[in-house]
Amino acid sequence: MWSWLLFLALSKVSSTNAIFEQCNHQVKLQAGQKLLINSPYYPALYPVGTSCRYAVEAPKDHVLQFKCELQLRTLSTDLKCRPEVFHFNSEGDEVLTSSEYFCGSGKFERKSFLNRAVISYISNGHSEPPSAVKLKDKLSTVPTTSTTTEAPQAVSIEEPDAEEVDDEEQPEEPEEPEGANEDLSDEVLHVLQDVGVSDALAYVASLLYDAEEPSKSSTTIYLDKLPIRSSSKTSGKRARIVSSYPPAPSPGHGGGRFSCLVEAFLPTCSCGWSRIPRIASPTNEEAELHEFPPMAGVLTKKHGKVFCGAAIIHHQYLLSAAHCFQGPETNSAAKLRVVVGEHDLASSFETFATRRYDLDALMLHEDFSQASGQPRNDIALLRTRTPIVWSHHVGPACLPLQPAEDGRKLPLTGHQVVAAGWGTTSYGGPQTHRLLKATLDVIDGKRCRQALSSAGGLPTHTFCTFTPGRDTCQYDSGGALYERINGRLVAVGIVSFGQACAAQRPSVNTRVASFIKWIRIKSPEVAYCPGRT
């Protein structure tokens, strides 16, 4: 069954790529640069029955801002956007079914989720070629236009001169997008405007859209109609249009045009994202797929089994518990790796986000001790050999860099935190292969010390959790305890130790807020993102 689903997924990707085979642009922006992407033949209409895709990439940790104006010749009664459709994918995914759909005329603004986004259009209209013979001769000379373009820093790339055209002979120009009238002579890149897509590929696109409804993850937006404003402006510099297509269609026969102003910039904060807007659960239960993007498992290269948890806090750093790394098989970075984007350890098919990264540094707190079986300063910082790649399913937790309003360190008594891990489901029981979660109550320190008095009291820089019937257990150590603040997952604790599992005594966790200075000293090159924004 899985092999068949994988075949269908790969077939869909192949079909999508085929649609844009002859007009597929890969464009890289530098920080602060602006990019003007115009449709083929702009400001004239693009030809019906054509398709183009533009994948735009910014530097790592940057995002892309899009300001687009569309003028697609779509009937107001067609709310499914089938004849002329414009796609925007905030995650840089080139699969159409995960994109937003736009049609009609109007303006919109969007931001990329990370540093990559994809825009494209597909025209399912039908143009009338002069004759089948002539069309065949023309199409046989169409070159492939898949390109990769890098925008140079502070260099103006201008279009080649074209013949002067009188005002009355110029096509009508749409209103410029917001910001498009700025002086961008040092930073605007005009993307290639040639197009070459055969009728066969356009037909494939038509079949694809006739056969499939937009998926639940996609959104169809019909923009309100806007008047097309004429302009008396003319330009002595226009791109020479080299195309095997007949002239743009007359009104009423489909087609359209668009112009998008794109800018790459560094966001103020990017951490703690999660697809699930809740953390509370009545009992220990299986986590939703990719509910915890910062979740990682630590395993040995020798055995490949997850023995502790960890939380991603940066492209190359993860938090865990120091006591996890005391054995002869776990006390060296060269023996370890982490797995991210994982859910079911016994399956390779429930997610394609799983990646493994080797470690090149293992940093335990210098004052870590384990007297009387109670770890103190139980915190470790792991550094991966290569950067962890962000996606919607894998990303860093925020750190509690800012205290609560009353100055106390998070989490506070009475708050709820959620733990996740691949630990055992009972003390001495079997280890789960699916990621489980449990929502736990933070209890008062005095109450916790009284409950632990016979076991040596409560170490400093810790907090306790206790909820009847719910708890962390063996092999959950090192995993984070998260508090959701302003919609972000904040790693406020690290699972440290407890007496059995779900017993009548609380569990003890390292308070991350007490070790922020230590984390920064160990990773001085990193500017961490606060959880309270």
Q: What is the pLDDT of residues 12-44, one digit of tens each?
A: 445 556 677 778 999 999 999 999 999 998 999
Q: Counting every residue, how long is the chain? A: 533
List CB contacts of 350: < 8 A, sequence separation 6 or more. Answer: 289, 343, 344
Q: What pLDDT, on a 0 to 100 scale, did the predictor assign at position 429?
A: 82
Q: Which of 290, 314, 323, 365 is catalytic?
A: 323
Beta bridge partners of 317: 383
3-state secondary structure of 333: helix
Low pLDDT (below 70) residues in the chain: 1-18, 76-79, 97, 125-220, 222-253, 276-284, 454-456, 530-533
Beta bridge partners of 464: 443, 508
Domain span(s) for CATH 2.40.10.10 in the chain? 285-522
Q: Tell which residue, 76, 80, 79, 96, has the closest CA to residue 88.
A: 96
Domain span(s) for CATH 2.60.120.290 in the chain? 24-137+236-265
Is 323 an annotated catalytic residue? yes
Return d(Cα 53, Cα 73) in angstroms, integer. Answer: 19
- Which residue has tokens 């997850």? 306
Tokens found for residue 322:
């120091």
Return d(Cα 362, Cα 333) in angstroms, integer. Answer: 5
- Which of the 8 DSSP states describes residue 123? E
Return d(Cα 321, Cα 48) in angstroms, integer. Answer: 60
Q: What pLDDT, on a 0 to 100 scale, did the predictor assign at position 161?
A: 34
Q: Tell which residue, 100, 111, 392, has the closest CA to residue 275.
A: 392
Return d(Cα 178, Cα 106) in angstroms, integer. Answer: 12
Is 507 an annotated catalytic residue? no
Return d(Cα 117, Cα 119) in angstroms, integer. Answer: 7
Question: What is the CATH code of the structural domain delimited by 24-137+236-265?
Answer: 2.60.120.290
3-state secondary structure of 450: helix
* Contact assessment for residue 74 and residue 194, using Cβ atoms and an 8 Å cutoff: no
516: enclosing H helix or E strand: helix 516-522
Q: What pLDDT, on a 0 to 100 scale, did the predictor assign at position 456?
A: 60
Quick one: CA dihedral 161, 162, 166, 168, positive or negative? Answer: negative
Q: How many CB atoms lie within 10 A of CB 521?
A: 11
Q: What pLDDT, on a 0 to 100 scale, did the predictor assign at position 73?
A: 85
Q: Tell which residue, 129, 112, 146, 132, has the closest CA to residue 24.
A: 146
Q: How many CB atoms lie within 10 A of CB 85?
A: 25
Q: Which of 127, 320, 477, 523 is catalytic?
A: 477
Where would I find the beta strands (DSSP E) of 210-326? 219-223, 256-265, 285-286, 295-300, 306-312, 317-320
119: enclosing H helix or E strand: strand 116-123
**Segment 350-365, tens digit of pLDDT:** 888 999 999 999 999 9
Return d(Cα 71, Cα 238) in angstroms, integer. Answer: 20
DSSP string, 289-310: TTS-TTEEEEEETTT--EEEEE
Return d(Cα 90, Cα 514) in angstroms, integer. Answer: 37
Fold classification of 285-522 is Thrombin, subunit H (2.40.10)
Return d(Cα 421, Cα 399) in angstroms, integer. Answer: 19
Return d(Cα 472, Cα 417) in angstroms, integer. Answer: 12
Q: What pLDDT, on a 0 to 100 scale, did the predictor assign at position 361?
A: 98
Is 378 an annotated catalytic residue? yes
Cis omega before residue 294 (within 30°)? no
List CB contacts of 140: < 8 A, sequence separation 6 or more. Answer: none
Return d(Cα 152, Cα 162) in angstroms, integer. Answer: 24
Return d(Cα 57, Cα 7) in angstroms, integer. Answer: 28
Tokens found for residue 140:
């046989």
Return d(Cα 214, Cα 218) in angstroms, integer. Answer: 6
Q: What pLDDT, on a 0 to 100 scale, did the predictor assign at position 3?
A: 44
Q: Which of 378, 393, 476, 496 is catalytic?
A: 378
* Contact assessment for residue 481 and residue 440, using Cβ atoms and an 8 Å cutoff: yes
Q: How many CB atoms lie within 10 A of CB 213?
A: 10
Return d(Cα 343, Cα 276) in angstroms, integer. Answer: 15
Q: What pLDDT, on a 0 to 100 scale, did the predictor assign at position 498?
A: 86
